[in-house]
Every structure is written in structure tokens, then in C-alpha cells.
Amino acid sequence: MKTDLTDTTSSKINKALVLGRRAIGTPAVGMVLTLVIVTDEENAYDALKAANEASREHPSRTLVVIKRVSRSPRDRSQARLDAEVRLGADASTGETVVLRLYGEVVDHAQSVVLPLLLPDAPVVVWWPVNAPTDPANDPLGALAQRRVTDTYSAEQPIEELTARADTYTPGDTDLSWTRITPWRSMLAAALDQVVCEVTAAEVEGEEFNPSVELLAMWLTDRLKVPVRRTRSAGPGLTSVRMETDSGPIVLDRPDGSLATLSIQGQPDRAVALKRRETAELIAEELRRLDPDDTYATALRIGIGQLDERAAVTAPEPPVPADLSSEPAPSEPVSSDLAAEPVADSVPGSGQSAAPAAKPAAKKVPAKKAAAK
């Protein structure tokens, strides 16, 4: 069931929700939380689709806040709120309200959302794209117990991850951290199978992927060993290698779906480690609404500290530089050798020009003899 409301108010939207529940025969409210999605028109469909799939596990009232851009000064001075209320099959197992904000009301989205929150229920705010620098101090983020961002969607993911560390507040989390949950579980289980001491580690993944950086920082924090971050063609995380006193432990996933776990002295094992969809990530984040202390400690390690340790424990990068510099002296040598015939062909003084003149003297009489 869908109800479109143009130039409306929050009270009219609440009334439409009550009438809609009565119309479909479910007057009681059986939802466990309110999920607020702050996005733009371009990404609203994908975000709402993921939220609807996650609501099968967590029935919720989903409020989609779309801040429309006003093109003229006159439009920016006029405040307007349009809403689309979805219930029943159109909203999966919960309720969905799509809010489109125009004009001055764009700067006061919290005033529109606050009357629509479920009473006595937790609030989660999710920014699929264009997350604020400090989510906890954002007007909408201040309403929530849990604030979810996604640094992978930012134009500069690594810089965005650094900003998350600087402004972290208990309750903040990021989908880039959620993506590495299976990796963290598998690596912890692998270390439980052997009695060893980890001396170093290496995390390999595609460039500009914040999940790779977070996994490396987590290993640095948990193992207290130097961790080197290397780049690959992807997709996403491709390999983690831990050096131990009893042999290496390697978790390798080259294709993004099936991984191989290798432990010294044990046969290799195939592990299902596929890349998960956004709906699975959101569903995982909604399972726990308390602050994630493990994420906070890993985030505080800092990318700069990770790079510093990598430079100390990775002598390989200088080696290719030295090897590449060896052919450089050989190029002038070859150019000097190639210049000798050129110098012989040019008339001039010196002993090196004499051998070149003799063949020329022999060729001239030969041509004259042929002419006679």
C-alpha cells in the first residue's frame, strides 16, 4: 500500500501511517527500531532495497531522508515536504516513509524526522554516501544510538578513514569494518588451531580500500607485531599472511568468493569467504546497538603508524629501486660505444678516423674500374 503526500507535515504523515495500518489489518506496531537513511536521489533506490531486505531480520520503520537541491534562490527560500508512505508488501516487514525535503527545510531535517521516530525504540542513522565529517555532532546523528557510515563510497576513502578516527564517538561504526568480520573470525580461528607466536603479518588487497587498512590496523592492535600492507588487483581483500615460529599461516582469496586456508603441517582447506551485499552488512550492524570497542581501538592505531611499521619491516621496496638503478650506468656506456662509429664517419683529425678512411679509399677505385 502506497500513499503519496505533497506539501505535507509530520503530523499528516503519522496520520497516514495509522490509517494505512488499519487498512491492511495490522493496527499494532511490531517494529523494533527506527532506521533513518540519509542519502540523495541517485542512491536512494539501492539503499532502500538493502534496508527492506535487512528488515526481514529486523522489522523496523525506515525513514529515507532525501535532501533535494533547489536550483533558484526563490526555490531555496520556499520550504516544502513531500512524502511517500509504504506499508504491507511495499515495505517488506516494516514501514517505509520516503521524505523529500525542499528549500529551507533541508537544513532542519531533524525537525521533520523527530516526530516520526518510534517511541521507546532505538534509532540508527545510516549514510550510504556523503557522510558528515563528525556523525555524532550532525543534527540527525545526534538522534541516534548508532551511526553507520561507509568510507568505501567516499571519493578519498583513506582520508575519510583518518577523519573517522579523529572524530570517533562511541556508537559510530563503518561498513568497511563490517566487511572484514568473516576475515577476523577466520584468522582468529586459525590461530586457535596451533600453538605458536606470531612475529609479523602482511595484508594484501586492492588500493584505496579502507577495509584492507582496517584489517591491518586490527592485526597490529591484537597481535602487537609489525604489519605490512601490500597492494593487489583485488577484488577487495585478497590475502593475509601471518609469520609464526612454527610456519606461515596464509588465508588467500584471489577471486572474491572462495578462500584457501594454509597452515604449516596441515592440509589446505577451502573456505567460503564471499563478498557480501549491503543488505547483509546492514543486517549485521543492526544486531548490536552498543558501542563497538574493538572497532574503536583498531581505528585509533592510525594509518600513519601502520605505514611507518611497514617501512621498517619491509626491505623489499628499496631492492627494486636499486635493481632498476643498475641499468642506468650501463646506458651511457652503450651510448659511448654507439658513438664511436659516428665519430669515425665524420671527417676530422685523430687516430680513430684513420681506419674508417681506408675502406673508403678502396671503394673509390672499385667504382672507377667498374665505370671503365
Q: Tens digits of per-residue pLDDT, 257-274? A: 899 999 988 999 999 999
Kindly indicate the confidence band of residue 305, based on its pLDDT and cuts at 50, 70 and 90.
low
CA separation for the pair 258, 271 (Å, rounded): 6
For strand 269-272 and strand 258-263, is the pairing parallel, antiparallel, or unpaired? antiparallel
The helix/strand count (H/E) of the chain reads as: 14, 14
Task: In whole angstroms, give the CA distance from residue 258 to residue 369.
Answer: 81
pLDDT, tens only, 38-48: 999 999 999 99
Read off the pTM: 0.77
The answer to whether 235 touches 212, Cβ cutoff 8 Å, is: no
Cα–Cα nearest to 200, from 259, 239, 240, 252: 240
Mean pLDDT of the chain: 81
- pLDDT for res 180: 95
> Residue 216: pLDDT above 50?
yes
Mean pLDDT in residue range 304-318: 43
In this structure, the chain runs to a length of 372
Q: Up-side HSE of residue 195: CA atoms within 13 Å toward CB?
A: 0
pLDDT (0 to 100) of residue 304: 62
Percent of residues, the chain, with pLDDT higher than 70: 79
Radius of gyration of the chain (CA): 33
Report percent pLDDT > 90 for the chain. Answer: 51
* Arithmetic mean of pLDDT, 204-211: 90
The strand pairing partners of 67, in sequence order, are: 101
* Residue among 106, 99, 100, 98 at smallest CA distance from 78: 106
Query: What is the amino acid identity at position 248?
Result: P
Give yes or no for residue 57 having a pLDDT over 60.
Answer: yes
Tell me if 92 sits within 8 A of 2, measured CB to CB: no
Q: Would you list the DSSP string of 291-306?
A: --HHHHHHHHH-HHHH
pLDDT at 66: 95
Could you tell me which residues are beta bridge partners of residue 272?
258
State residue 143's pLDDT score: 94
pLDDT of 321 strictly over 90 = no
Q: Which of 28-37, 140-149, 254-263, 285-294 has the lowest mean pLDDT?
A: 28-37
Q: Where are the alpha helices (DSSP H) in the chain?
A: 10-24, 44-54, 73-77, 109-113, 157-166, 175-178, 181-192, 210-223, 278-285, 293-301, 303-313, 318-325, 327-345, 354-371
Over residues 89-144, the pLDDT tens digits come to 777 778 899 999 998 899 899 999 999 999 889 999 999 999 999 999 999 999 99
Residue 117 burial (10 A CB sphere; 0-12, 13-18, 19+)? middle
The pLDDT of residue 72 is: 66
Beta bridge partners of 86: 2, 96
| Mean pLDDT, residues 154-164 taken together | 89
- Beta bridge mates, 342: none
Q: Report pLDDT for 344.
A: 40
Asked if the model's pLDDT at residue 211 lies above 60, the reply is yes
Measure the N-to-C terminal CA separation of the chain; round to a whole number of Å.
109
CA-to-CA dists, residue 139 to 92, 135, 320, angstroms: 28, 9, 51
Distance of CA 347 to the CA centre of its chain: 67
More confident residue, 8 or 345: 8
Which pLDDT score, from 0 to 100, does residue 79 have?
85
Q: Would you state the cell numbers that stand for residue 60, as one nine-digit string?
A: 523496523
More confident residue, 160 or 360: 160
